[in-house]
Structure 1
């Protein structure tokens, strides 16, 4: 999907998600943070040394992640059970995963391995966190959703990374726009549940 199309699909899906949250789960809507600042968006671009995909920029420009904790818990906005990261949280998570990767990889092979894997097409599985991966959500249990910013036709796809296995599954979404459109459709088809505390869950 071209960049302009991604942005258009993302914007439309965000509008549908926002409408559903306001009507059915206002607490979950209130748990979303205000839009990311331009400085934060630039910081994310600088971290990955390339422009952000337009659909990811649109998402963070709508809400810079979600608050978490007892006083501001909106549940799991992203199925099957992920909470959106703020840009600051995303960059911190990326830094931590990169630190872990460096510690477990043989030092004399690290640079060659990372360069080789980082130059493979987006969507290619890998057990180790790579510099071209930018987290966008967490399950608060060692799992992340990330956008794969490597090159190739699947550039911008959304993949899952788990502490014990890495990223070994094929991308569940072609890009952030596809993810957002899927969330909007599932919400509108009543696939989500809202508990007594106003939190979104996916049975």
Structure 2
């Protein structure tokens, strides 16, 4: 399923079931936005991320009406991607000092305890969590991870890319098919395993909840 098809399914569902959140979706990123993003990260961007930004430049008032992405996340616009990336880079420099990080030489999809320059936030949560794309080289280039400042990254990516993330969100909203099924059943320690997730509107908020695998 293409990014455009998945996004149309998501926004169509929101228009009917949660118009308040639908109204918070920003217009597409401009060509200037995308050139600035490319120059700032100074490395290739995943095609599916670019496709999404050409449809919507994140959202506004992200924590007000629930979470579009499991479990607590909402998309951020280009400039917030870069500001959150810079914030994490500064934290790493204060904690570990300046200089190259060993993880930068690892292929995409390989865990690391440090925030790397090749990580680009795409969504955030009210409790400081981030979802980011891994821009390191390798077969898993563009995979989507979760990061918390106090706990680092998860032991495995949540999705292979933005395209799979959107397809699973669309499936959960429109078809009632739980998201994160592959992650929940993958090579993740049981104590760290996040159950599959389904979403619903509760008291005006879009919320994700665990379902049996």
TM-score band by shorter chain is 0.7 to 0.9
Does 2:168 align with 1:185?
Answer: no
List, as ranges, runs of 4+ consecutive aligned residues in structure 1 with deviation greater than 2 Å: none
Give the TM-score, by structure 1 length.
Answer: 0.87
CA distance in 1 between counterparts of 2:65 and 2:47 reads 25
Matches for 1:1-203 after TM superposition, within 5 Å: 9-68=2-61, 73-105=64-96, 107=97, 110-112=98-100, 114=101, 116-190=102-176, 191-197=198-204, 199-203=205-209
DSSP-derived class of the 2:54 partner: helix
SS at match of 2:11: helix
Name the Cα RMSD after superposition. 1.5
C-alpha separation in 2, matches of 1:131 and 1:92: 13
**Contact 2:62–2:74 (CA under 8 A) maintained in structure 1:** no
C-alpha distance in 2 between matches for 1:30 and 1:76: 14
- Give how far 1:69 is off: 6.6
Q: 1:182 to 1:140 in 2, by over 3 A?
A: same
What CA distance in whole angstroms lies between the structure 2 residues aligned with 1:69 and 1:19? 19
Secondary structure, counterpart of 1:44 in structure 2: helix
Quick one: higher RCO (CA 8 Å, sep 6+), 1 or 2?
1
Structure with more of its chain in helix, by fraction: 1
Aligned residues: 188
The answer (yes or no) to whether the contact 1:10–1:58 under 8 Å persists in 2 is: yes
Gaps in structure 2 of 5+ consecutive residues: 177-197
- TM-score by length of structure 2 reads 0.83
Q: Which runs of 5+ in 1 are unaligned?
A: 1-7
Structure-2 separation of matches of 1:168 and 1:111? 24
Give CA-to-partner distance per residue, 1:149-171, whole Å, 9 cap, x none: 00111000000111111113200
1:31-74 per-residue CA deviation (whole Å, 9 max, x = no partner) reads 1111111111111111211232111011111111111178xx33
Could you tell me how far apart the structure 1 residues matched to 2:154 and 2:74 are?
21
Query: What are the Cα deviations for residues 115-152 of structure 1, in whole angstroms up to 9, with x where unaligned?
Result: x3112111111121101100000112121000000011
